[in-house]
């Protein structure tokens, strides 16, 4: 990516977890580019093809304010990793009166997470894999598990347990895992890590996988997750006694929930 910030969309979004979207919607800013190369990315036109519009840091600060003025429950920075420097500059210009959410793939340097301590209220991390082989096969990043674990533990150290007000998250760490086909054991390992090392976090197990991009031609991930696979993971979570968890209903695997990257709000 270049020195300027590239953004594909900035608008209210209603398809996050309920304590993020709320009634008014989450003020999402979709940044172009990504530090991973996931073969199944649902936003591949933005992440892989760098679809977006180049803007200045001043304009990014203005976008934050416009989202707040439109009623956003929070400022939700989607795939922000490679623009963390610019985000800090923009937040120095305008600090929103609503929580700032760092919505990341999890492929982060711990040192960067440390620099964000005074700027970010909620870390919304993916924990895609704990298996290096799967991380290499599907995201071209065999070292992903090491960096993701380190970043999550640093975020937990910063924020502690999640705090809420009026049913909306105000501070803390939320960890998402997208269940992939034929990967129930991996999902269980991911959950067990969260249960052991991040008990104050919230866990969101996602059943919205649709084979897109290169995954359409890659068995075994060229199909949706079966009900049996999803229920196996849910049963393990429920049996563990862990309660800070969100599930998705069957039927969530639909491209309907993917926003249009048409430069709205940019």
Tens of pLDDT, residues 24-53: 999 999 999 999 999 999 999 999 999 999
pLDDT of 195 reads 97
Q: What is the mean pLDDT of residues 201-227?
A: 96
pLDDT at 259: 86
Q: Which residue has better confidence, 13 or 258?
A: 13
**What is the reported pLDDT for 68?**
98
Higher pLDDT, 252 or 21: 21
Tokens at 135, concatenated? 């991380």
Q: How confident is the model at residue 9 (pLDDT cuts 50, 70, 90)?
A: very high
Q: CA-CA distance, 117 to 156, in Å (whole number)?
A: 11
Q: With 90 as the cut, is the pLDDT of residue 1 above it?
A: no
Stretch 204-227: mean pLDDT, rounded? 96
Strands 5-13 and 53-55: antiparallel
Q: Which domains does the chain have, with CATH numbers?
A: 5-256 (3.20.20.70)
Tokens 């936003």, located at residue:
43
230-255 pLDDT tens trace:
999 999 999 999 999 999 987 676 77
Q: How far is CA 201 from the centre of its chain?
A: 14
Q: Can you give the pLDDT at residue 18?
A: 96
Q: What percent of the chain has pLDDT over 90?
A: 94
From the number of C-beta atoms within 10 Å of its C-beta (0-12, 13-18, 19+), residue 13 rates as buried
* pLDDT of 106: 98
**Structural contact between residues 205 and 250, judged by C-beta atoms closer than 8 angstroms:** no
Q: Output the pLDDT for position 257.
A: 74
Can you tell me the distance from the alpha carbon of 148 to that of 130, in angstroms, rounded to the nearest whole number? 9
Using CA atoms, how far apart are residues 154 and 123, in angstroms rounded to an integer?
10
> For residues 16 and 176, what is the distance between their CA atoms, to the nearest angstrom?
11
Question: Taking the model in full, what pTM does it have?
Answer: 0.96
Distance CA 40, CA 140 (A): 12
What is the rounded average pLDDT for all residues in the chain? 96
Query: Can you give the pLDDT at residue 128?
Result: 98
pLDDT greater than 90 at residue 258: no
For position 2, what pLDDT does the model report? 73
pLDDT higher than threshold 80 for residue 256: no
- What integer is the mean pLDDT of 58-72? 98
pLDDT-derived band at 221 (thresholds 50, 70, 90) equals very high
In Å, how far are 195, 205, 253, 257 from 176, measured between CA atoms?
13, 6, 15, 16
Lowest mean pLDDT among 60-74, 90-104, 207-221, 246-260: 246-260
- Quote the CA–CA distance of 226 and 63 in Å, as a whole number: 40
The proportion of the chain whose per-residue pLDDT surpasses 70, expressed as a percent, equals 99
pLDDT at position 252, please? 73
């Amino acid at each position: 990516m270049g020195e300027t910030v590239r953004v594909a969309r900035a608008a209210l979004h209603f398809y996050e977890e309920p304590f993020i979207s709320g009634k008014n919607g989450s003020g999402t800013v979709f940044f172009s580019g990504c530090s991973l190369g996931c073969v199944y990315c649902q936003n591949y036109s933005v992440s892989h093809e760098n679809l977006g519009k180049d803007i200045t840091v001043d304009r990014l600060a203005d976008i934050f304010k416009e989202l707040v003025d439109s009623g956003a429950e929070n400022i939700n920075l989607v795939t922000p990793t490679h623009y963390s420097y610019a985000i800090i500059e923009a937040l120095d210009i305008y600090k929103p009166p609503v929580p700032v959410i760092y919505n990341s793939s999890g492929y982060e340097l711990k040192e960067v997470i440390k620099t964000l301590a005074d700027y970010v209220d909620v870390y919304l991390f993916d924990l895609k894999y704990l298996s290096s082989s799967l991380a290499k096969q599907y995201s071209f990043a065999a070292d992903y598990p090491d960096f993701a674990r380190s970043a999550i533990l640093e975020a937990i150290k910063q924020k502690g347990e999640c705090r809420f007000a009026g049913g909306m998250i105000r501070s803390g760490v939320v960890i998402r895992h997208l269940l992939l086909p034929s990967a129930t054991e991996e999902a269980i390992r991911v959950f067990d890590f969260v249960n052991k090392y991040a008990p104050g976090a919230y866990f969101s197990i996602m059943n919205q996988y649709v084979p897109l991009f290169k995954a359409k031609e890659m068995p075994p991930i060229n199909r949706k997750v079966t009900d049996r696979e999803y229920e196996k993971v849910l049963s393990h979570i429920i049996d563990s006694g862990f309660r800070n968890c969100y599930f998705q209903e069957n039927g969530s695997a639909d491209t309907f929930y993917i926003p249009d990257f048409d430069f709205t709000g940019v």
